[in-house]
Amino acid sequence: EPEVTQTPSHQVTQMGQEVILRCVPISNHLYFYWYRQILGQKVEFLVSFYNNEISEKSEIFDDQFSVERPDGSNFTLKIRSTKLEDSAMYFCASSERTGHRAYEQYFGPGTRLTVT
Amino acid sequence: GESVGLHLPTLSVQEGDNSIINCAYSNSASDYFIWYKQESGKGPQFIIDIRSNMDKRQGQRVTVLLNKTVKHLSLQIAATQPGDSAVYFCAERMKGDYGQNFVFGPGTRLSVLP
């Protein structure tokens, strides 16, 4: 069964450093998403991406964040200057966004980001 | 500073019994809802969805009920199995300042007793 993959599984970085989290969505999916989950808290939507541009974003997704689909398979989330409060599990998801399974999002296993 | 974790409500059910997990959503204009299951150390897993023009939808062993009058969503799991033990949370799609957002609830921990 196809699945969303994410690398690395755990990233440790120092405050102020840039990080790039990588995702490979399911190959025939058209919509891509990033979410984060701070330890012990709710899942929070960050951004959705379609047709090489951001389609929706939340107030969390400020200028420190950016997303990119650099090639036909990868989808990345960049945090320019990490802060301690960016420490969280980051989940990538993808969906077909067509037909009766339009919003069925498949989540990756997550990347745990630890900012020290 | 120290982050305060959510104290998740827990539902304990006997194996084979039916489970009902509830969720109160926030925005009467939300047009679409999803139930997710999250096992420890894993990403959320889609279970079932429902649009706001429906009040009930059935899947395999699961049923979602939507009561728009009181902004309430429930997930019913029939014949609960040990593999159903996980955190379950609902998500609503609502219009935020920057477009459509999915807003997640805090979750309920389901514990299936042998």
**A103, B34 Cβ separation under 8 angstroms:** yes
Those residues of chain B that have pLDDT short of 70 are: 1-6, 95-100
Q: Which amino acid is it at B96?
A: G
Sheet bearing B72-77, strands edge to edge: B19-24, B72-77, B62-67, B56-58
- For residue A30, what pLDDT is reported? 87
CA distance A70 to chain B (A): 24
Residues of A in contact with B4 (CB under 8 A): 40
A69 vs B113: CA distance, rounded Å: 45
- For residue A72, what pLDDT is reported? 80
- The model's pLDDT over B80-100, given as tens digits with 9 standing for 90+, comes to 999 999 999 999 987 666 556
Asked whether the predicted pLDDT for residue A59 surpasses 70, the reply is yes
- For residue A2, what pLDDT is reported? 83
Residues of A in contact with B2 (CB under 8 A): none
- For residue B98, what pLDDT is reported? 58
A50 vs A69: CA distance, rounded Å: 10
A9 touches chain B (CB under 8 A): no
A42 touches chain B (CB under 8 A): yes
Q: Is the dihedral of CA B26, B33, A87, A65 positive or negative?
A: negative
- For residue A55, what pLDDT is reported? 87
Torsion-angle region of A70 (φ positive above 0: left; ψ -120 to 50: alpha; else: beta): alpha
**B34, B25 Cβ separation under 8 angstroms:** no
Residue found under tokens 């405050």 = A15
Residues in chain B: 114
Q: Residue B32, Cβ neighbours under 10 Å: how many?
A: 17
- For residue B40, what pLDDT is reported? 87
Say what percent of chain A tops pLDDT 90. 69
- The model's pLDDT over A70-114, given as tens digits with 9 standing for 90+, comes to 888 899 999 999 999 999 999 999 988 655 555 688 999 999 999
- The model's pLDDT over A19-58, given as tens digits with 9 standing for 90+, comes to 999 999 999 898 899 999 998 888 999 999 988 999 888 8
CA distance B112 to chain A (A): 21
